[in-house]
């Protein structure tokens, strides 16, 4: 894993993933959630490929759909052609990334915002892995969380991460009326947990990046991200990716959302670069 994009969720991580996925040299998973599950079950020991694939196929989003769609038979045939019977997590992830990319790649990466608490584990598996923590205006994050089925489920269940709920998840109804304070709490706790985990990473392997900076100057932001991630800042890729960014101004927070922020929440927002208006 060359890098992983983490964050609170609803922070622009999908946009950043889509821009980096345009790079001709690599492949970026949309989301996985299953790497910590594979680690818990198998550790680093090689196991049968179908056992790892079973976990991937059983990992679901809140609506019950598969997190990672895989042509299992085609992947098994590709693996069997190499004459191997077992595989470890590192090789499996690289194999799956290459298979889903449909071409030879120089690197692969992941975008799973929920991996903030798991960055140490990922760096244990991939010592050179770098992490981008994408931050966004907290009031925009909270407003978006309050409308998103997955974050509504997390807020109602008071869960920090989808990773612990993803295996064999079946759709279920969530309460219609969830207080905004629950989404503020989710934003706060995910932000703090990611910062806590970052303190134990290898020096220079973690960077916090502002979503709004991409909206203001996508070309320069892409150059800076490419330099940090140590991927080729190919001019054609940067031009193509920058054209995909929709520029927008900094919106004012709605009163009902700001009222849900406690003083300690505003202090955290200011630490992240978002002072109270």
Q: Is the pLDDT of residue 194 over 90?
A: yes
In the chain, the domains with their CATH numbers are 3-271 (3.40.50)
* Phi, psi (deg, nearest 5) at residue 86: -130, 160
The per-residue pLDDT for 88 is: 98
Compare 254 and 148 and report the one with higher pLDDT.
148
Compare 84 and 253 and report the one with higher pLDDT.
84
pLDDT in tens, 73-96: 999 999 999 888 999 999 999 999
* Cα 209 to Cα 231: distance, rounded to the nearest angstrom: 17
* Cα 35 to Cα 56: distance, rounded to the nearest angstrom: 9
* Cα 246 to Cα 216: distance, rounded to the nearest angstrom: 9
The per-residue pLDDT for 277 is: 75
CA 270 to chain centre: 23
Residues 6+ apart with CB under 8 A from 177: none
* Phi, psi (deg, nearest 5) at residue 27: -140, 140
* Cα 95 to Cα 87: distance, rounded to the nearest angstrom: 10
pLDDT in tens, 129-183: 999 999 999 999 999 999 999 999 999 999 999 999 999 999 999 999 999 999 9
């Amino acid at each position: 894993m060359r890098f992983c994009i983490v964050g609170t969720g609803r922070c622009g991580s999908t946009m950043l993933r889509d821009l980096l996925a345009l790079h001709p040299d690599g492949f970026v998973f949309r989301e996985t959630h299953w790497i910590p599950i594979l680690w818990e079950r198998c550790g680093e020991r090689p196991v049968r490929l179908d056992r790892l694939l079973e976990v991937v196929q059983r990992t679901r989003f809140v609506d019950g759909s598969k997190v990672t769609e895989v042509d299992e038979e085609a992947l098994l045939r590709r693996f069997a052609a190499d004459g191997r019977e077992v595989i470890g997590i590192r090789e499996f992830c690289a194999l799956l990334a290459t298979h889903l990319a449909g071409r030879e790649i120089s690197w692969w990466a992941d975008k799973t915002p929920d991996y903030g608490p798991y960055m140490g584990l990922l760096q244990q598996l991939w010592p050179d892995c770098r992490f981008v923590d994408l931050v966004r205006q907290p009031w925009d994050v909270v407003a978006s969380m309050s409308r998103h089925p997955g974050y509504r489920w997390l807020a109602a269940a008071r869960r920090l991460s989808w990773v612990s709920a993803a295996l064999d998840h079946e759709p279920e109804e969530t309460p219609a009326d969830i207080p905004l304070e629950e989404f503020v709490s989710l934003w706060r706790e995910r932000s703090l947990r990611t910062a806590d985990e970052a303190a134990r990473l290898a020096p220079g392997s973690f960077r916090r990046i502002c979503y709004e900076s991409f909206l203001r100057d996508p070309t320069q932001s892409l150059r800076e991200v490419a330099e940090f991630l140590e991927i080729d800042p190919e001019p054609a890729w940067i031009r193509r990716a920058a054209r995909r960014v929709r520029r927008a101004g900094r919106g004012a927070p709605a009163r009902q959302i700001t009222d849900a922020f406690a003083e300690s929440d505003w202090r955290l927002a200011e630490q992240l670069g978002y002072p109270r208006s």
